[in-house]
Structure 1
């Protein structure tokens, strides 16, 4: 059990550092949906979609490449300096091009120049912190990582509250300062000004590595890192298409008079998958450095298989809990009833994120063997499925097509990764256990939501029954892991 104890320790440390900031950021969901109508929230979601796509492009796989080569290379300083120079140079180029062509790009994106430049600032600061944050994780400095993440997100939260709730009231006074700061109908811009300020503070906090590094750009190393990173970039873009591009498709394929409102409803209810997203993210942050550091150990495949077993067990529980208590969770995350119409997407989206988490566990085979091109291929297949289903069915069934497309894409990616990995890097997964726990959770979840019409009593009974089965079959093993970990 030692490998599992170490995994849970890393997952707890690194995962907590990301989960806490995300919990704080999700406090903004009920706030935004409370102060914004569905159309304004839809517009905000579209800008966040653009940021998500650009974040992947500006990172271009260098974070994953950094982890791989930091653990692999003897001269780690060269890996750090080469990575920093590469990301800084591409970020500077992006800022210069954005400034020169700001009017044309902003028009193309249907944004005004001011909002576009604010978004560019957010993207630049986020890109410049990629390697510093990766370095903190690689050096196992979770406390600093956690403090920076939590503090900057808390600042973002405060600024959102100030700009959207406090400032409109302050400007009603006779104080000239508040009236000068306040701009009417500026809600979307204020959201991203808050993001830009918090991202800038994060850069100032961790950016000291840019000053402390002795700069050596090793061209041969950079080329090797780029060969590793480029498929990761392709996979990242394809993943982003799966994850957020459906917002653009909804805008393009739905009637103009309802598109932004429908996007707002869809994006709001999509947030109910937050608990599965947080769990998957925490687990991924724990396992990614763990996979690389144990790749050369004796029989690492056995440990990888055990890790996936327990991911499926905990993920199955979270799936059932979220679906059963969706009507309770919605009161906290999306109190505005105007969004509840889209609640029917919840089981599909939560299950899709569960399958995505399994896929991240299965993806170990192409990452530790430097065969990232296979990851790119799998993600592109997922993106094609996403685009095809959305384009065909959005005009017919609206945002429900996007939810179905997300589930189909991640299901296909999970299955492809399993079957390809089985041939190229066999891992002895306990498929009987995985299918049993996952299958029962899916059956209970969809039955509770659709057949029993979200009846809390029936859902709670099914949840208790499922937990009882897990305790009976896995109780001793789980207690052994956590008791040893506590010691």
Structure 2
């Protein structure tokens, strides 16, 4: 268990920046949903869907590649760092300029009217700055500098939150005379009401610039070196990861891009397609609690898995880690799904957003399977068969597009949520089956499957039987949550010494 404790401790440190930072960012959701209509928030949701997708293009698998080659015997890590960052510097500059030139077509895909091209330009700059921080952050992870990593990440997030509060809450309150009217002359020079939701992107842009500055020591240590023959094996390893990442982003974000295109007119009476995107995007945020655990785990697990790959008992270690990861995520799934009414009313400040809460349990379970897939994917990264990840991700992307095409006209954004769940479930199952052939690990698949079935059954029961009385309903949901926790304790506690079984 000492190995698992080491991973858990690193996950906890990374989780400080991930969880605390995400919680701070998540506290902006009530601000956004109070300040912006669902249609306005749809612009934010749509453009950030592109950000998630294009982040993969800007870094093209180089983070994982850096970890893999840095752990090979005889590798000069400083030279590797310089070569990879040099390549990323050139590609980032080219991609940022290209994206700026394509601002209008990009907005057209989201059916955003002309006059908002500056939003796309700011998004391009955000992508460029974030790409330049990727390898310095990867270096901190490789060197086990988790605290510095967490501190810089958290500083950038705090800056983003503070700027959002300043531009979206403080400045409008001053300009309206609600707060400190004596500051109106000063605020007039800093704040332009016509920018509107654009301040969400501007705040992010300033925060990304601050993050780059805080990585100054890692960047000043960098020396530009570009040798294509040196980079050739890196690119050969990386490009399947990029394709896999692109497929993953298709699965994760394409629904918010396709929704305004494939949603029939007046599907939701009196609401535009951008309004539907805004509602779906806001409710998608409620699955963040699952994403927090997954992201913190990934930061610690990737270098950990590579370091453990040469250990004799590594398969048993990987099996044990998957088991406890899945059970922890199952607790989150049950707890949030059965109490989503309270979370929704707390974070979604306008009633128009609450109609989308039905997608939350589906998306939570989908993200759980995504986390399982990340665990299982260790086999093709350790065996240098990353092309399998490309095949699995491409299969998921095809399924995502096909199901969205079929289900959006029938079910609206509920269809998008179901497509997401089906995609991640298929990817996890496929990765597990292929891994059994190429890198056998004694995963307790049947046992975990039964636990997830039990969790899903409790959630379905809680949603199916909804007492009208508020107190009775909440007691019922709390009882189901406690039932799951008690069952876990009774069954798994006696098996702690056999956690990998």
Say yes or no: TM over 0.5. Answer: yes
Q: Is the contact made by 1:272 and 1:329 (CA closer than 8 Å) also made in structure 2?
A: yes
Of 254, 257, 274, 1:245 maps to 254
Match of 1:87 in 2: 88
Of 346, 353, 368, 2:382 maps to 368
- CA deviation vs aligned residue, 1:425-454 (integer Å, no higher than 9, x gap): 111111232122222111111221234469
Q: Which moved more, 1:338-347 or 1:252-261?
A: 252-261
Q: Is the contact made by 1:241 and 1:386 (CA closer than 8 Å) also made in structure 2?
A: yes
The number of residues matched between the two structures is 481
Summarize the alignment of residues 392-407 of structure 1 with structure 2, pairs less than 5 Å apart. Answer: 392-407=406-421
Match of 1:352 in 2: 366
Q: Which moved more, 1:232-241 or 1:106-115?
A: 106-115
> Is 2:160 aligned against 1:156?
yes
Summarize the alignment of residues 68-217 of structure 1 with structure 2, pairs less than 5 Å apart. Answer: 68-73=68-73, 74-99=75-100, 110=112, 112-172=116-176, 173=181, 175-217=184-226
> Is 2:490 aligned against 1:472?
yes
> Is 2:229 aligned against 1:220?
yes
Question: How far off its partner does 1:184 sit?
Answer: 2.8
- SS, match of residue 343 in structure 1: coil
Question: How far off its partner does 1:476 sit?
Answer: 5.0
> Is 2:440 aligned against 1:431?
no
Match of 2:50 in 1: 50
Question: How far off its partner does 1:96 sit?
Answer: 3.1
Q: Which moved more, 1:71-80 or 1:319-328?
A: 71-80
- CA deviation vs aligned residue, 1:318-370 (integer Å, no higher than 9, x gap): 11101111111112221322101011111111100011111111111011111
Is there any run of 5+ residues in structure 2 with no aligned partner, and where? none
Summarize the alignment of residues 403-482 of structure 1 with structure 2, pairs less than 5 Å apart. Answer: 403-452=417-466, 455-476=473-494
Q: Is the contact made by 2:379 and 2:435 (CA closer than 8 Å) also made in structure 1?
A: yes
Question: How far off its partner does 1:105 sit?
Answer: 5.7
- SS, match of residue 245 in structure 1: helix
Question: How far off its partner does 1:4 sit?
Answer: 1.5
Question: How far off its partner does 1:15 sit?
Answer: 2.5
Q: Is the contact made by 1:15 and 1:286 (CA closer than 8 Å) also made in structure 2?
A: no
Distance 1:146 1:361 in 2: 22
Distance 1:157 1:329 in 2: 20
Distance 1:328 1:103 in 2: 40
Summarize the alignment of residues 229-240 of structure 1 with structure 2, pairs less than 5 Å apart. Answer: 229-240=238-249
- SS, match of residue 163 in structure 1: helix
TM-score for the superposition, normalised by structure 1: 0.94
Q: Which moved more, 1:198-207 or 1:472-481?
A: 472-481
- SS, match of residue 20 in structure 1: helix
Distance 1:453 1:424 in 2: 50
Distance 1:57 1:247 in 2: 18
Change (3 A) 1:48 1:16: same
Question: How far off its partner does 1:218 sit?
Answer: 4.0
Match of 1:484 in 2: none
Distance 2:364 2:42 in 1: 20
Question: How far off its partner does 1:108 sit?
Answer: 6.3
Q: Is the contact made by 1:171 and 1:182 (CA closer than 8 Å) also made in structure 2?
A: no
Distance 1:395 1:433 in 2: 37
- SS, match of residue 442 in structure 2: coil
Q: Which moved more, 1:466-475 or 1:39-48?
A: 466-475
Q: Which moved more, 1:437-446 or 1:100-109?
A: 100-109
Question: How far off its partner does 1:421 sit?
Answer: 0.6
Q: Is the contact made by 2:33 and 2:349 (CA closer than 8 Å) also made in structure 1?
A: yes
Q: Is the contact made by 1:132 and 1:207 (CA closer than 8 Å) also made in structure 2?
A: no
Q: Is the contact made by 2:96 and 2:127 (CA closer than 8 Å) also made in structure 1?
A: no
Is there any run of 5+ residues in structure 1 with no aligned partner, and where? 482-487
Q: Which moved more, 1:26-35 or 1:218-227?
A: 218-227
Q: Is the contact made by 1:242 and 1:406 (CA closer than 8 Å) also made in structure 2?
A: yes
Distance 1:44 1:453 in 2: 36
- SS, match of residue 264 in structure 1: helix
- CA deviation vs aligned residue, 1:136-158 (integer Å, no higher than 9, x gap): 11111111111111111111111
- CA deviation vs aligned residue, 1:442-478 (integer Å, no higher than 9, x gap): 1111221234469322222222122112112222565
Distance 1:104 1:409 in 2: 28
Question: How far off its partner does 1:17 sit?
Answer: 2.6
Q: Which moved more, 1:24-33 or 1:104-113?
A: 104-113
Match of 2:39 in 1: 39
Distance 2:467 2:291 in 1: 24
Of 299, 312, 333, 1:319 maps to 333
Of 281, 291, 294, 1:267 maps to 281
Match of 1:332 in 2: 346
- SS, match of residue 208 in structure 1: helix
